[in-house]
């Protein structure tokens, strides 16, 4: 069974919100979720459309799209933490500013191009502003945010964590 642990979105955030009994959550830290905790949805880091979908590469080094592009956004659009976490990287990768947040339970989000005042080890809470879309560093034809999520090192579609996309279910051959 896969357990996805994040934080609640406020009820006003839309129909994707879930409720959870706080007594079911283990307060021992990011890497120690309670086995009885229910699935909780993450918040999208920006309010925007999906410009380019996730496309799992056929091999670890194969071509694909290891996240989703969200936009169009204005320059310096505010980016927010999708769930609680700890900053694990802030810096330049190739030619773009990148921010990565470790969420615990094997999840790591990365955002580009994002300029951030945060530093390695800073803690963030769901909805906290974590940076802005970098001006001049383009990932898309128009300003956008590339949001990637890895689960134990494997890229997954971030929108499955927000409830915007349901995960695929594989059925045995011959069943519908």
- Main-chain phi, psi angles of 23, to 5 degrees: -65, -20
The Cα 128–Cα 29 span in angstroms is: 18
Rounded mean pLDDT of 87-107? 96
Which helix (H) or strand (E) is 16 found in, with range? none
In a domain, 131, yes or no: yes
In a domain, 84, yes or no: yes
In a domain, 38, yes or no: no
Count the domains in the chain: 1
- Among 99, 87, 86, which residue's Cα sits nearest to residue 46? 99
**Percent of the chain at pLDDT exceeding 70:** 73
Tokens of 38: 């229910």
Name beta bridge partners: 55.
65
Task: Please tell me the predicted confidence (pLDDT) of residue 127.
Answer: 97
The Cα 81–Cα 62 span in angstroms is: 29
Residue 92 has pLDDT above 60, yes or no: yes
CATH code for position 62: 2.70.70.10
In a domain, 5, yes or no: no
**Please, what is the average pLDDT of the chain?**
79
Task: Please tell me the predicted confidence (pLDDT) of residue 150.
Answer: 96
In a domain, 16, yes or no: no
In a domain, 174, yes or no: no
Rounded mean pLDDT of 146-158? 95
Task: Please tell me the predicted confidence (pLDDT) of residue 167.
Answer: 58
Residue 166 has pLDDT above 90, yes or no: no
Summarised one tens digit per residue, pLDDT across range 116-136 is 999 999 999 999 999 999 987
More confident residue, 135 or 92: 92
Residue 16 has pLDDT above 70, yes or no: no
Is residue 140 very low, low, confident or very high in pLDDT (cuts 50, 70, 90)?
confident
In a domain, 130, yes or no: yes
Residue 47 has pLDDT above 60, yes or no: yes
Which helix (H) or strand (E) is 98 found in, with range? strand 96-104
More confident residue, 34 or 167: 167
Task: Please tell me the predicted confidence (pLDDT) of residue 168.
Answer: 64
Range of the domain at 139: 44-162
In a domain, 119, yes or no: yes
Rounded mean pLDDT of 69-86? 93
pTM for the complete prediction? 0.72
């Amino acid at each position: 069974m896969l357990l996805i642990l994040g934080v609640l979105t406020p009820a006003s955030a839309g129909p994707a919100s879930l409720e959870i009994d706080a007594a079911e959550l283990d307060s021992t830290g990011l890497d120690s979720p309670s086995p009885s905790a229910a699935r909780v949805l993450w918040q999208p880091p920006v309010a925007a459309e999906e410009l380019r979908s996730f496309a799992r590469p056929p091999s670890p080094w194969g071509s694909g799209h290891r996240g989703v592009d969200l936009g169009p956004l204005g320059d310096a659009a505010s980016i927010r933490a999708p769930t609680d976490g700890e900053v694990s990287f802030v810096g330049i990768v190739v030619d773009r500013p990148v921010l990565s947040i470790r969420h615990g339970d094997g999840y790591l989000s990365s955002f580009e191009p994002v300029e951030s005042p945060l530093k390695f080890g800073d803690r963030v809470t769901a909805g906290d502003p974590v940076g802005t879309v970098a001006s001049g560093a383009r990932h898309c034809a128009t300003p956008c945010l590339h949001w990637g999520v890895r689960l134990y090192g494997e890229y997954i579609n971030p929108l499955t964590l927000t409830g915007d996309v349901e995960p695929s279910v594989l059925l045995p051959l011959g069943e519908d």
